A = this chain, B = another copy of it.
């Protein structure tokens, strides 16, 4: 069984964690290694639920911070084991998981081991199944079985943010918009009604759509409304009676789910709209006192997070949360996923400085 040496550098620890593949559904080997490494630390109370590991200090501090990271990745695509590479003279660690988000997890593990006397109590969470449906996430399961473990005054998700502090996140809504027609043999098309042709004005509404930019607590969130899938057709000689367009609306955290749904229904007025999935965003969470101290300590200029992350889950529980982790989010899921070594070290320094009160 692989073992993790938490006294190694955060770079070496990132390399070790990435080289234990942990695609969603296959996290157990890594979860075992993490559990064994932190269970040996006397200053932490360790709880395990499936492949989710929670490790807490209990020092009676006035405040508690939750620091979380998922341990699964999207599928490997010939990009493991990791490699040390250079890009424009700068050293990088290359390979699946380096950005999303094992470098962040490595920094967290190292600090969990070394910060025996932090200025706040800390709840470390490493969880499974983030890269798949939200219903399968280790955090969803834990929120049901042990909601008490989410109690905190502030939360930091180690999702890649280029070493900057990214506040909150946009919400995301998916809907299927349908056009209907009636079938006929394509040799006698005038006997039917073509549902794919009927989608022309619907696609035109998407191309005409002007996405908004919405300021929330000083950060500007950029929205988007896009077709992500289209399908229609029965056979090569049949006029199709159905066309389905799946759209994805990314909405600023100032809108709740009901407002997002109303907006999409208004855009597609006159068409059949089925909302299939919606997750609200999270406001930046930067007005909390702890958040302001954190931002000042790491010397960051906060910016908005566009992608949905589990900060929204903490936000929904009343815990202000931000993203802070090494790696360029544009390279997440990319076949050339790679993290600058300097960002791993910078995030380690930033978190250590703030948590130790140095």
Contacts and interface: CB of A to CB of B under 8 A. Distances in A.
Contacts of A191: 330
Contacts of A222: 190
Number of this chain's copies in the assembly equals 2
A172 interface: yes
Nearest to A200: B203
23 contacts: A170-B187, A174-B236, A186-B224, A186-B250, A188-B306, A188-B307, A194-B226, A196-B226, A196-B228, A197-B203, A197-B227, A199-B203, A200-B203, A200-B204, A200-B207, A226-B239, A228-B235, A228-B239, A228-B240, A229-B233, A229-B236, A233-B246, A236-B246
Contacts of A194: 206, 226-227
Contacts of A203: 196-197, 199-200, 203
A137 interface: no
Contacts of A239: 226, 228
Nearest to A170: B187
Given A187-B308, A207-B200, A238 B228 contact: yes
Interface of A: 170, 172, 174, 185-191, 194, 196-197, 199-200, 203-204, 206-207, 211, 222, 224, 226-240, 243, 245-246, 248, 250, 277, 306-308, 330, 332-333
Contacts of A206: 194, 196-197, 200
Contacts of A238: 228
A239 B224 CA distance: 11
B188 A330 contact: yes
Given A186-B250, A203-B200, A229 B240 contact: yes
